[in-house]
Amino acid sequence: MKPIVLILCTGNSCRSHMAEGVLRAVAGDVVDVHSAGSKPAGYVHPKAIEVMREIGIDLSAHTSKHLREFLGREVRTVITVCGNADQACPLFPGQVNRHHWSFDDPARATGTEEQVLAEFRRVRDGIRRVFTAYGAGLREGAAR
């Protein structure tokens, strides 16, 4: 059974889903990746789906979930991607690791359609860099 990595943000509509998609693409064969929120928005932001599709990752089947859904599961690693989720994060059964990598919330972007999409892409690219490197480390550790 693969260890569970749970990625948390407040709304579970953008950042955590983008991180889940990247980590699943990079290391989904060595870890079981999920995302959730402390106050889930109830949807995955359409622009997050759009910008992830641009890099070949499909989030269209993702759903917004509450972190409570994972309290009874053995979560090995919890990664928070926003300050509010970091503060609200409980301990999970079996939790060994905890990381906090904060990213701006692209859902708060304002301006023209292109400016908003540019912000989603900027955040996506930051998430992609961090979670690709993290996933490479997980794969290396699993190979040992």
Q: Which of 18, 67, 75, 89 is catalytic?
A: 89
- 82 classed as catalytic: yes
Catalytic residue among 9, 44, 81, 138: 9
14 catalytic per annotation: no
Q: Which tens digits make up the pLDDT trace of 99-117?
A: 999 999 999 999 999 999 9
Check if the beta carbon of residue 15 is closer than 8 Å to that of residue 85: no
d(CA 135, CA 31): 9
CATH number of 4-133: 3.40.50.2300
| Tokens coding 6 | 């749970």
1-58 residue pLDDT tens: 899 999 999 999 999 999 999 999 999 999 999 999 989 999 999 999 999 999 999 9
Helix (H, G, I), strand (E, B) or coil at 59: coil
- Residue 9 designated active-site: yes
**How far apart are the C-alpha atoms of 127 and 103, rounded to whole Å?**
7
Residue of 6, 19, 82, 123 marked active site = 82
How many CB atoms within 10 Å of residue 71?
12
